[in-house]
Structure 1
């Protein structure tokens, strides 16, 4: 996957992407509010990402 979508979009970004589905967006919030997840930082398994020239891991 080579694109710039490797992040969780904000509510505003999602609303702009799906303007015709406001009920679906509200449902995602309702589902998220029912979730209780504790993530252990030592347990993250993130993919290795190729960083383009001119960027550092912090700026990409």
Structure 2
């Protein structure tokens, strides 16, 4: 069984920064915003197109 492909985009990077900052400052709002940004990045159509292109050009193991 194959696992899901994860492609990190710019929103995931910003989300990770917000999540880390939220944990350091003990702000659940910042941490929640970071988590939402990471999840949103994976659902964007651009991320899906990038995943499809990577699947086409990646060697199949």
Answer yes or no: same fold by TM over 0.5.
Answer: no
In the superposition, the TM-score normalised over structure 2's length comes to: 0.32
Higher relative contact order (CA 8 A, sep 6+): 2
In the superposition, the TM-score normalised over structure 1's length comes to: 0.33
Greater helix content: 2
